[in-house]
Amino acid sequence: MILGWAIIMHPVISSLVITVWIGLMLLLFGLLYIFVSFSVKRLVKEA
């Protein structure tokens, strides 16, 4: 409830929250991509 009020009251805070959330999601996808590519390379080497 407080977060919703803050977003309605402060566009700057809402844009900041959205930016941080997108940044975290991109970081998560980047780490996932690195992990998957690393695993695939290892599997290819073993096979």
Residue 11: predicted pLDDT = 78
Return the axis-axis angle of helices 2-9 and 11-46, rounded to nearest 10°: 110
pLDDT of residue 13: 76
Task: In whole angstroms, give the CA distance from residue 27 to residue 21.
Answer: 10
Q: What's the pTM?
A: 0.56
Residue 4 host element (H or E):
helix 2-9
Cβ density class 3-41: b for 16+ within 10 Å, e for less: eeeeeeeeeeeeeeeeeeeeeeeeeeeeeeeeeeeeeee
Q: What is the pLDDT of residue 7?
A: 60
Query: Which of the pair, 2 or 24, is modelled with greater confidence?
Result: 24
Domain boundaries, the chain: 23-47
Query: Is residue 19 pLDDT above 90, yes or no?
Result: yes
- pLDDT of the residue at 16: 87
